[in-house]
Amino acid sequence: MHRFYLPPKNCAGETLRLDGREAHHALKALRMKYGELVAVLDGVGNEFLCTVENCSRDAVTLSVSLKNFVPAPLCQITLLQALPKGKIIESIIQKSVELGVHRVAPILSERVVMQLDGESGEHKREKWRQTAVEAIKQCGAAWLPEINAPVTIGQFLARKEKFDLLLVGSLQQERRHPREIFREIEMQKKAPPQSVGVWIGPEGDFTPEELKLIQDSGAIPISLGKLVLRVETAAAYCLSVLNYELQRD
């Protein structure tokens, strides 16, 4: 069944309307017709099972037959991803959606120079958000992750956000296997963390100065295995571990 995305404000009532990008995809690429069944996601947990009622030149009208609500994941995971070169970030966002991330916070680091003013940063954020939209349509995720505009490490840390657990993928010697951290939480009979942040560096990793700032903020250095991973592999590795340990559905 084909899936489409509509923002929550457009999902009230028993009739939904696809227009713009979504209508173009339905009409030109999928050549949808009257009577076909489709699903619509609103990104905040609701999935609508619909029937195509009408196809005009630039819009598709849908009749809602069933509404299903999917609860949010038990743990909200934020990926603090240092921006890599090129378009790798788009692949990272796509895989992050598939692995149930709550938010992707792109980070400007010293080893990958990307000069951004406010306008271009917001433009990139909107482009990356569309990547996330396409990803939830592909995998059927009911919750659309938040995609932040890129900021420096210092700018992010200045917000003083609090996480129940904060990790950083590290190549240094003094690091722990993630298994140790979760077994420790279990042995201490602590409640599972409801908010987790994980920092992933760029090509060549964070500089020692950057890593110190991140660790001083409370992040625990973790091992990603014996091999040196590509940026996108490191992100997927960490999110897979967190998804396995913390998401119970």
Give bridge partners of residue 196 from the DSSP assignment. Answer: 77, 165
More confident residue, 175 or 26: 26
CA gap 58, 37 in Å, rounded: 19
Global pTM reads: 0.92
33-91 pLDDT, tens digit each: 999 999 999 999 999 999 999 999 899 999 999 999 999 999 999 999 999 988 899 99
pLDDT at 223: 92
Residue 17 has pLDDT above 80, yes or no: yes
CA gap 224, 170 in Å, rounded: 7
More confident residue, 196 or 249: 196
| Mean pLDDT, the chain, whole residue set | 92
> What proportion of the chain, given as a percentage, has pLDDT over 70?
96
- Alpha carbon separation from 112 to 164, 179, 203 (Å, rounded): 29, 30, 8
pLDDT band at 172; cut points 50, 70, 90: confident
Q: Which domains does the chain have, with CATH numbers?
A: 2-69 (2.40.240.20), 76-246 (3.40.1280.10)
